[in-house]
Amino acid sequence: MVRAAELGSGQALLKAGCMYLSGIECEKDYEKAFDYLTKADERRIPDARFYLGSMYIQGQFVEEDVVKGADLISQAAEHGSKPAREFLEMKDKGEGE
């Protein structure tokens, strides 16, 4: 997966970023997650913007910035990110706070 990401596949970049963000199949590494997700976002992968937004909200590798994180998540939802839409729906219902 990381090899495919290094070749520039947007979906592979997203998956590699998520792997490093969650620690699934590798050790958690927020810096690498941020790097891969940023590259996926540059390739217009909406879910990457959602995960970047969550990193800002939680202050993972970046300085915590809830406003920026919420803006990124809203943008991701507008561009078709299912996880972003689901997050916003839960937030609207008052869940997960």
Contact predicate 38/24, CB 8 Å? no
Residue 78 belongs to what H/E stretch? helix 66-78
10-35 pLDDT per residue, tens: 999 999 999 999 999 999 999 999 99
Task: State which residues form the domain around 11.
Answer: 2-92
Residue 96 per-residue DSSP state: T
49-88 pLDDT per residue, tens: 999 999 999 999 999 999 999 999 999 999 999 999 999 9
The CATH number linked to 39 is 1.25.40.10
Q: Residue 97 domain-assigned? A: no
How many domains in the chain? 1
Q: Is residue 2 over pLDDT 70?
A: no
Q: Residue 46 domain-assigned? A: yes
Q: Residue 74 domain-assigned? A: yes
Q: Residue 26 domain-assigned? A: yes
Question: Closest by alpha carbon to 36, among 59, 15, 58?
Answer: 15
Measured between alpha carbons, how far is 84 from 69 in angstroms, rounded to an integer?
11
